[in-house]
């Protein structure tokens, strides 16, 4: 081993100790000499599923289904990863089989973090068209969810990112990445960057979070980031609720999106709304993740998404469909109200201008429609409004708020809430849920960077 390799291995060993000592992962060992390393380690997954009470035939069928996806020759990496993600998130369901009938095999217990086996392996040897060895691989119940490539301090972090990008190419070890959700690269000098499959080098993210009071001041940045990002509960939260598939690209939540969604969920649990105000980012992705969470946790919920952009209205329909959620676009206010009297679909989207024009007469038409078709009792409405800073004016939305008093309004904005509009916007949506801005606009107050807003 030359000096450079020795320095790399020293960093690896320290990070392994961090995962064991600080994060509570099990060390599976150095797999440099192993011949058959896989993203689905059957021995470990079988052990976990047996502990959950599944029988040998059920486990065998689950292994077969997972391998079928991983080794598919007809799908590219995006398609494989999307299919496998769905199985990881929702489980494998077998119908019409006398042995496994009506059984859903849950590969990961998303609700009970401590019921899962978290482990890390070093120098994982993967045989493909080319032989590759990711520095560290994170396994949950024997399924590879994370890859971490480390460089010594003198090497730029971009070198590690490029290695991660290269490994995913078809002529290397693409199939290994069919289960991978988080791809990380870092060094002791520049910290950590993360993305997911097929993320371009320029789009890798940095985990930004205010340090806790008791954090060691001399702790390396990469160690701080790994402790926060790969914390067991946070890792499961990020994978379960922070992944979106969008027109051939897989996206993972940036820190501000993760914290905004976490804060929004707490508000929603208390039947409260608010505003998510971000400088930039994937508002549509947050809408998808929050809507999925609401519908999965509330059988009586309906989610309505309002925009004032016809193109975005179409994009949202495609985005929700790609992420396994059926959404119906309504052509006008009457159809929207009629749909609310039907049991399905649970997801609806519409253009704000379809809810009445700017004239008082048309606004009154919609108000009359609301009065003629009151919302069914027992229905829990959650209304997402895109660009809420500009779609809230006029008496129409005030009337909406008044007549849909049982609804929870979540506003999304990337533009400053100006003083003349700010009061009415806050009246409709409530206070800020989360913002990643620090802005001074005229006589408006300075909005400080928030992690959680009460």
Q: Among candidates 373, 356, 353, which has minimal Cα distance to 365?
A: 356
Higher local confidence (pLDDT), 443 or 186: 186
Q: Between these two residues, 164 and 311, which has the higher pLDDT value? A: 164
Q: Span 182-197, mean pLDDT?
A: 95
Q: Find tokens 């001041």 and name the residue.
A: 217
What's the pTM value of the predicted model, to 2 decimals?
0.87
Least confident of 108-122, 144-158, 375-389: 375-389
The reported pLDDT for the residue numbered 96 is: 57
What percentage of the chain exceeds 90 in pLDDT? 53
Q: Are 354 and 390 in contact (CB under 8 A)?
A: no
Please tell me whether residue 104 adopts helix, strand or coil conformation.
strand
Whole-angstrom Cα distance, residue 91 to residue 74?
Answer: 22
Q: Please name every residue paired with 374 in a beta bridge, in sequence order, or none if there are none.
A: none
Within its chain, how far is the Cα of 219 from the centroid? 28
**Mode of pairing for the β-strands spanning 408-413 and 274-277:** parallel
Between 370 and 386, the higher pLDDT residue: 386
List 149's β-bridge partners, or say none. 185
Instruction: Classify the C-alpha dihedral 21-26-29-32 as positive or negative.
Output: negative
- Which residue ranges form the domains of the chain, and what is each CATH number? 3-239 (no CATH), 254-435 (3.40.50.300)
Mean pLDDT, range 39-51, rounded to an integer: 97
**How many of the other CB atoms lie within 10 Å of CB of 101?**
9
Beta bridge partners, 350, equal: 306
Average predicted confidence (pLDDT) for the chain: 83
Res. 390 pLDDT band, cuts 50 70 90: low
Q: How confident is the model at residue 445 (pLDDT cuts 50, 70, 90)?
A: very low
Q: Quick one: pLDDT band at residue 448, thresholds 50, 70, 90?
A: very low
Locate the DSSP E strands across 153-222: 182-187, 191-195
Span 383-392, average pLDDT: 69
**pLDDT of 193 strictly over 90:** yes
pLDDT digits (tens, 9 = 90+) for 265-298: 999 999 888 888 876 667 889 999 999 999 999 9
Q: Which helix (H) or strand (E) holds 51?
A: helix 42-51
Whole-number pLDDT of residue 382: 93
Q: What pLDDT does 374 receive?
A: 73
């Amino acid at each position: 081993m030359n000096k450079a390799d020795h320095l790399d291995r020293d960093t690896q060993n320290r990070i392994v100790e961090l995962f064991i000592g600080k994060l509570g992962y099990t060390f599976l060992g150095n797999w440099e000499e192993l011949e058959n390393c896989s993203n689905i380690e059957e021995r470990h997954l079988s052990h976990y599923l047996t502990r959950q009470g599944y029988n040998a035939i059920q486990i065998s069928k689950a292994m077969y289904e997972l391998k079928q996806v991983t080794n598919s020759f007809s799908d590219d990496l995006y398609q494989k990863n999307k299919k496998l993600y769905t199985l990881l998130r929702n489980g494998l369901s077998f119908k019409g089989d006398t042995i496994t009938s009506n059984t859903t095999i849950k590969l990961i217990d998303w609700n009970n973090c401590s019921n899962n086996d978290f482990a890390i392996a070093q120098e994982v040897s993967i045989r493909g068209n080319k032989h590759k060895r990711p520095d560290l691989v994170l396994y949950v119940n024997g399924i590879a969810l994370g890859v971490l490539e480390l460089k010594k301090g003198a090497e730029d972090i971009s070198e590690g990112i490029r290695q991660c990008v290269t490994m995913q190419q078809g002529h290397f070890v693409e199939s290994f990445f069919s289960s991978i959700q988080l791809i990380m690269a870092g060094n002791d000098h520049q910290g950590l960057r993360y993305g997911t499959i097929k993320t371009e080098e320029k789009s890798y993210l940095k985990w930004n979070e205010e340090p806790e009071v008791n954090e060691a001041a001399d702790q390396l940045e990469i160690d701080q980031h790994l402790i926060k990002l790969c914390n067991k509960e946070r890792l499961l939260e990020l994978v379960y609720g922070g992944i979106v598939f969008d027109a051939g690209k897989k996206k993972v939540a940036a820190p501000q999106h993760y914290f905004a969604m976490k804060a929004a969920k707490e508000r929603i649990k208390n039947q409260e709304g608010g505003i998510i105000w971000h400088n930039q980012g994937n508002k549509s992705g947050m809408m998808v993740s929050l809507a999925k969470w609401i519908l999965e946790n509330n059988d009586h919920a309906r989610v309505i998404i309002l925009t004032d952009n016809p193109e975005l209205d179409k994009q949202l329909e495609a985005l929700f469909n790609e992420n396994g959620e059926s959404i119906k676009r309504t052509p006008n206010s009457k159809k929207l109200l009629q749909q609310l009297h039907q049991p399905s679909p649970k997801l609806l989207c519409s253009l704000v201008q379809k809810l009445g024009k700017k004239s008082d007469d048309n606004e009154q038409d919609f108000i009359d429609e609301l009065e003629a078709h009151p919302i069914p009792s027992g229905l829990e409405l959650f209304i997402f409004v895109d660009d809420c800073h500009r779609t809230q004016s006029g008496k129409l939305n005030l009337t909406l708020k008044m007549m849909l008093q049982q609804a929870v309004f979540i506003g999304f904005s990337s533009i400053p809430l100006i003083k003349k509009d700010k009061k009415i916007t806050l009246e409709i949506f409530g206070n800020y849920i989360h913002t990643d801005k620090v802005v001074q606009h005229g006589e408006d107050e300075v909005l400080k960077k928030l992690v959680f807003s009460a």
